[in-house]
Amino acid sequence: MELGLAGKVALVTGASRGIGAAIATELAREGVHVCLVSRDMSKLQEVAAGLTNSASVRTAVHAADLREPDAAAGAVAAAIAAFGRLDILVNNAGATKRADFFTLTEEDWQDGFALKFHGYVRMTRAAWPHLREVQGSVINIGGIGARAGSAEFTIGGSVNVALLNFTKAMADIGIQQGVRVNAINPGLIETDRFTRNVERVMRERNVDREGALAFLLSAGGTKRVGRPEEIGALAAFIASAKGDFLQGSVIDIDGGATRSL
């Protein structure tokens, strides 16, 4: 599908691997210039090098720890310095710890909120004037953990549900100011984060990888694990003019794991 995104500029956080790298890849395939942000400069450069499938697509990389209060403004400034405008902000960097509630520390909670909640809030605040100028779009990558509480995901579920309310609130502002704000809730997606989840289940249940996979799929009642590029394709559609009527939408992409309305 021709999405008409060529020449737009996106900033994607957590773009050094996994879902963020896949979103950056899909946007670049559509002709979008992409600024990739995470902590690991060499991994960012590797991903960026793979995006130059089209001679007209330009990339920029910016290394920052988005838990730091000033990091968001620096990341947006880097995108503006490289491209002079910003049309699409994808908030994706997240690393909430999954474990038994009683083993999680105060620091684990602060850390989870610092990156995935306050990081998204700060990125949105810093990018907003630029997005308003071009009538752009924000996509928040949440997670289906927002939809139902679960024993081993107290931090992630709480962060994700806060992000959904934040998405709706910014969409309310965005209606007036011409910025669209939407959220994607991925289910199980095959990334390093998912691998760590599989390893946790292997340890806790004393099963092999196949057994852990079977457990996770049966817990979700789904047939397979999702691929990062499936999230990339959805993000590109939302950011495009074809997704123009999406405002404050929260889209679960999870193979049917979420049954609740």
Q: Which residues here bind ligand NAP, judged by CB under 6 A?
A: 14-20, 38-40, 43, 65-67, 92-95, 115-116, 141, 143, 186, 188-189, 191-194
- The residues that bridge with 74 in the sheet, in sequence order, are none
Measure the CA–CA gap between 210 and 105, rounded to whole angstroms: 31
> Cα–chain-centroid distance for residue 213?
23
**Choice between 92 and 240, CB closer to ligand NAP:** 92
**Choice between 2 and 192, CB closer to ligand NAP:** 192
Sheet holding 33-38, edge to edge: 59-63, 33-38, 9-13, 88-91, 137-141, 180-186, 250-253
**SS3 readout for 190-224:** CCHHHHHHHHHHHHHHCCCHHHHHHHHHHHHCCCC
**Choice between 56 and 234, CB closer to ligand NAP:** 234
**Choice between 7 and 125, CB closer to ligand NAP:** 125
Shortest distance, CB of residue 118 to ligand NAP, whole angstroms?
11
**Choice between 16 and 154, CB closer to ligand NAP:** 16
Task: Indicate the angle between helix axes 41-49 and 18-29, nearest 10 degrees.
Answer: 30
Residue 2's contacts (CB-CB under 8 Å, 6 or more residues apart) are none
Measure the CA–CA gap between 12 and 181, rounded to whole angstroms: 15
Shortest distance, CB of residue 135 to ligand NAP, whole angstroms?
26
**Choice between 4 and 256, CB closer to ligand NAP:** 256
- The residues that bridge with 60 in the sheet, in sequence order, are 35
